[in-house]
Structure 1
Amino acid sequence: MAMKVITTDPQRSAVMRAVKSQDTTTEMIVRRLVHGLGFRYRLHRKELPGKPDLVFPSRRKVIFVHGCFWHGHDCSRGARKPKSNVDYWHAKIARNVERDGRNNSLLQKAGWDVMMVWECDTKMANRENLVARLEAFLNPAV
Structure 2
Amino acid sequence: MTEFTPIASLAGGALIGLAAVVLMAFNGRVAGMTGILSGLLPPQENAWHWRAAFIIGAIAAPLFLMLSGAAIPFQVPVSTAALVIGGVLVGIGVTFGNGCPSGHGVCGISRGSIRSIVAVITFMATALVTVFIIRHVFGG
TM-score (norm 1): 0.26
TM-score normalised by length of structure 2: 0.26
User: Which has more helix, going by share of residues?
Assistant: 2
